[in-house]
Structures are given as C-alpha cells and as structure tokens.
Amino acid sequence: MAEHNDVKKINETAGYQRTIAEHKRTIAEQERTIAEQERTIAEQERTIAEHKERIDIEKKKVIEISEVVEQTSMLLSRVMELRDPYTKGHSEHVGEIAVNFVTLNPLLNFPKEKIPMIYRAALLHDIGKIGISEQVLNKPTKLTEAELVMIKYHTNLGYNLIKSFLFDKLVGDAILYHHENFDGSGYPEGLKGNEIPLIARIFRIADYYDALTSSRPYRPALEPEVALRIMKGDSRCFDPNLFSFFVESIEHITKKASVPSEVPNARN
C-alpha cells in the first residue's frame, strides 16, 4: 500500500512538473508575442513619425507656394494699378467687400478654406487690363465702340493670362465672368442668372459699388447713398438675392475685412 502511495506521489509530481513546464513554455511564447508586438508598435510609431514629418514638409511647401502666389498676385495688381492709377486700391477693396459678403451671409454656405482665394481672385480680377492701352484705360471722355470692345476684352485676356497657372477655379471664374449681368446682357459670354458662377455674381456687385465710390478720370467719387441709388436703377446687373443682402448689410460689408491666411494651422 505504501509502495502504491509512493508511485502515486511520483506520478503526481511528474504531472505537476509537466504542467509547470507547459506553463513556462506558454509564458515564454507570450513573452515572445509581446516582444514582437512591441517591435511592431515601435515600427508603426516610426512610420507615423515619418508620415508626420512628410506632412509637415508638404504643409510648409504649400504655405511657401501660397505666399509666393499671394505676393505675385499683389505685385501684378500693383503693376496694373500703375497703368490705371484711378483704380488704385480698387482690387483690394473688391476683395474686402467680397470676403465680408461671404463671411456675413451664412446662407451662402461658402467653404471657409476658399475665403483666401476670394481675395486673390479680387487682386487679379482686372489683370487683363495689363494688355489694354493706357490711353484707352485713362480716357476722360466717352469711349468709341472700338475702345469699348478693347476694354471688354480685359476679362478674356486676364483669364488667358492666368489659366495655365495653378489657381483655384474660383479665381478663373471671377476674372472671366465679373462683368456678366444677371439678365444676360453682360460680357464676355452673356451668361444669365445662376449660369454665372456665384463668385462672379458677388464680384459684379462689389466691383460696381467700388467703381462708383472711387474717383475716375471722368467724375469724382460718389457718396455711398448715391452709388446705391444708381445700382438700384441698374439692378438687372445683379443677382436679386445677393443684391438685397448687399443693400441690407452695406455698412458691414464695406468695412475693412480681415482676410485669413490659406493654411492657418500649418504655421505652428
């Protein structure tokens, strides 16, 4: 009986030892798995860090390009104003009015990231005037038919100048269509109503208002109330909803606007 108990104990001990050995193997395997997982996590962290670095570099490049484009747009706008001194500051004013217009009107649901583009579009909207003779641009008396045709060509000329550069479509639309009238009587294509891109319908109002309230070779600057009266009399030019909003909010719309930079968070 004692012998039987001894054998039983030996067997039990051997069983425990096997179980312990198995546990040890399992623990060793788990440790290997954990070590592998740690390596994988470390690799993923390295990959994330590399991606982040690449994204930061790309963001920096976008900012640099954006700043160059901004400065080039400003330079071109100044060059144009040298040829047509009466329009000095006009492009900036149109930009400020248009930026206020979209930021103050929530119904337009204008994408926030496109707001800096509006200002750029404004700086360049009359860029085609670079190709128009100074005598015609600054003529203090009534323009002939041929001179009018020449002046009207500044929209196509401007668009052709910038179309091969990397500008947002909005900039091209503003340059090409800012003289289209809502009733279809404008140029260059005689577009009507909503066929005219939103940005061009906004610019039509901003451009018209700033032209009237600035001095010209053929007349002094008009008072805002007089300008509004003239615009109301020529309302066929404007999108009626946008024009009503402009009339209602004119005091705020014509204030100096703060134009956000293109990639606001990437500077940090």
Which single residue is written with the structure tokens 């930026």?
A: 99
Q: What residues from 49 to 78 belong to the interface with Fe ion (CB under 5 A)?
A: none
By beta-carbon proximity to Fe ion, the closer residue of 84 and 126 is: 126
Can you tell me the distance from the alpha carbon of 218 to that of 141, in angstroms, rounded to the nearest whole number?
7
Binding mask 118-137 for Fe ion (x = CB under 5 A): --------x-----------
Binding mask 152-191 for Fe ion (x = CB under 5 A): ----------------------------------------
Is the CB of residue 169 less than 8 Å from the CB of residue 182? no
Q: How far is the CB of 105 from Fe ion (least distance, A)?
A: 23
Q: If 0-12 CB within 10 Å is exposed, 13-18 middle and 19+ buried, where does residue 131 land?
A: middle
Is the CB of residue 116 less than 8 Å from the CB of residue 262? yes
Number of residues that bind Fe ion (CB under 5 A): 1
Task: Kindly state the tokens that stand for 180.
Answer: 């289209």
By beta-carbon proximity to Fe ion, the closer residue of 103 and 200 is: 200
By beta-carbon proximity to Fe ion, the closer residue of 103 and 121 is: 121
By beta-carbon proximity to Fe ion, the closer residue of 100 and 154 is: 154
Is the CB of residue 87 less than 8 Å from the CB of residue 126? yes
Coil, strand or helix: which one is 153? coil
By beta-carbon proximity to Fe ion, the closer residue of 126 and 239 is: 126
By beta-carbon proximity to Fe ion, the closer residue of 126 and 262 is: 126
Q: How far is the CB of 175 from Fe ion (least distance, A)?
A: 8
Question: Closest-CB residue for Fe ion?
Answer: 126
Q: How far is the CB of 202 from Fe ion (least distance, A)?
A: 14
Q: How far is the CB of 150 from Fe ion (least distance, A)?
A: 13
Which ranges of 84-114 does DSSP label H, i.e. alpha helix? 90-104
Q: Which of 76, 94, 83 has its CA nearest to residue 214?
A: 94
Q: How far is the CB of 179 from Fe ion (least distance, A)?
A: 6
Can you tell me the distance from the alpha carbon of 175 to that of 256, in angstroms, rounded to the nearest whole number?
22
Residue 198: alpha-carbon gap to chain centroid: 14
Q: How far is the CB of 61 from Fe ion (least distance, A)?
A: 33
Which parts of this chain interact with Fe ion (CB under 5 A)?
126
